[in-house]
Amino acid sequence: MKKSYRVGIVGATGAVGTRMREVLEERRFPVASLSLYATGKSAGKKLPWKGEELTVQEAAESAFGALDFVLFSAGAEISRQLSPHAAKAGAVVIDNSNGFRMEPGVPLVVPEVNGRRAFEHRGIIANPNCSTIQLVVALWPLHCRARIRRIVVSTYQSVSGTGLDAMDEMQAQSRARLAGGPEPVPRVYPHPIAFNCLPQVDLFDAAGNSLEEMKMINETRKIFEEPVLSVTATCVRVPVLISHSEAVNVEFEEPLSPDEARTILAAAPGVVVQDDPAAGVYPLARTAEGTDDVFVGRIRRDTSCERALNLWIVSDNLRKGAATNAIQIAETLIENAK
């Protein structure tokens, strides 16, 4: 059995790729060697790793022959093109894009919910959407107790979900607006994001649903193994740098009080309950930033529905919503191989 593993990161220069390096080191993942990959102009850059500098290589079909794990965070097109080659070369691919999530033979894994599914992989494991991950981590223990009948979720998603260019755009627009000068023309989003809310996360389909909304619906059903579970979502981009927030209404088949929900969630892996609104205690995007937990608060009964609760769920989308979840999947595989 291996005691250390050869790891590659594709998309190493991006926001999630950067967090992947950080999380690997923080969690002391047994890395024998780390290879960094990117496409186009980013190849050749040097990035820090454990006090050294590693040169970013150009991602190519033949680049993965000596690796045990390859973490992809370079978009669906690159993942579809290169992931099968990495898997064929013998690596386990953990893909952060939308490229394989709904493929029937590809496990879609959140370790706190369905970690056992990771062992069913045939070379590729899909990392769910960031908004889906925090939702299912919080709702799964409640589902196990009282069975969820319907989920209504509205998201407040940070610009880092779109990447570094979006973070730069929001900050540039904010500086210009505060200085009273002309704002830069939006290039990442269709409208200015600074001091604004955009009810559009990704493209719309013919029915008016965004791709992000459909991801949340379909991925939650797949992870819960409930193909007809009633889920509806409205996804909104807000002028926050890091961490996604969600207002969630959940209807259950069985009675569940707010106090019991708090007790269940306080004992659930990966969940932190912050719920004393009168004292100003509830999850915040700024305090979630840089952490790996899913924070839940504002747990209260829905006054319009006897068996429904309202919750406020917050998590760092770059870490638990992407990098950390991917590395936890790898940890699940190696822990259970011992």
Characterize the bridge pairing of strands 244-252 and 308-315.
Answer: antiparallel
pTM summary value: 0.96
State both tokens at 338. Answer: 């011992």
Asked whether the beta carbons of 46 and 59 are under 8 A apart, the reply is no
Same structural domain for residues 152 and 296? yes
pLDDT, tens digit, for every residue of 164-188?
A: 999 999 999 999 999 999 999 999 9
pLDDT band at 127 (very low <50, low <70, confident <90, very high): very high
- Rounded Cα–Cα distance for residues 128 and 14 (Å): 18
* Per-residue confidence (pLDDT) for residue 238, from 0 to 100: 98
pLDDT (0 to 100) of residue 2: 77
Instruction: Judge if 169 and 306 occupy the same domain.
Output: yes
Residue 172: the pLDDT is 98
CATH number of the structural domain spanning residue 73: 3.40.50.720
Facing residues of 133 across strands?
Answer: none
Residue 338 has pLDDT above 80, yes or no: no
Residues 186 and 290 in one domain: yes
**Radius of gyration of the CA atoms of the chain, in A:** 20
Same domain assignment for residues 312 and 199: yes
38 near 11, Cβ under 8 Å? yes
Q: Are 119 and 151 contained in the same domain?
A: no
Q: How many domains does the chain have?
A: 2
149 shares a domain with 99? no
Question: What does pLDDT average to over the chain?
Answer: 96
Could you tell me if 10 and 93 lie in one domain? Answer: yes
Whole-angstrom distance, CA of residue 112 vs CA of residue 261: 17
Residue 276 and residue 137 share a domain: yes
CA dist list (Å): 20 to 14, 37, 73, 301, 325: 10, 12, 9, 38, 10
3-state secondary structure of 286: helix
pLDDT of residue 313: 99
CATH of the domain at 292: 3.30.360.10
Q: How confident is the model at residue 1, as a pLDDT?
A: 58
If asked whether residues 329 and 310 sit together in one domain, one would say no
Angle at which helix 258-266 crosses helix 130-146, to 10 degrees, equals 120
Catalytically active residues are 130, 244
Name the nearest CA neighbour of 284 among 323, 232, 238.
Answer: 238
Q: How far apart are CA 289 and CA 93, in angstroms?
A: 27
**Residue 160: what are its φ and ψ, rounded to 5°?**
-65, -20
pLDDT of residue 284 exceeding 60, the answer is yes
pLDDT band at 76 (very low <50, low <70, confident <90, very high): very high
Segment 28-48, tens digit of pLDDT: 999 999 999 998 788 899 999
Same domain assignment for residues 153 and 112: no
Asked if 193 contacts 227 with a C-beta cutoff of 8 angstroms, the reply is: no
Residues 38/56, Cβ–Cβ less than 8 Å: yes
- Percent of the chain that is helix, strand, coil (3-state, to 5): 35, 25, 40
Residue 71 lies in domain: 5-127+322-335
**Do 158 and 231 reside in the same domain of the chain?**
yes
Q: Any idea what DSSP says for residue 257? A: -
Are 101 and 201 part of one and the same domain?
no
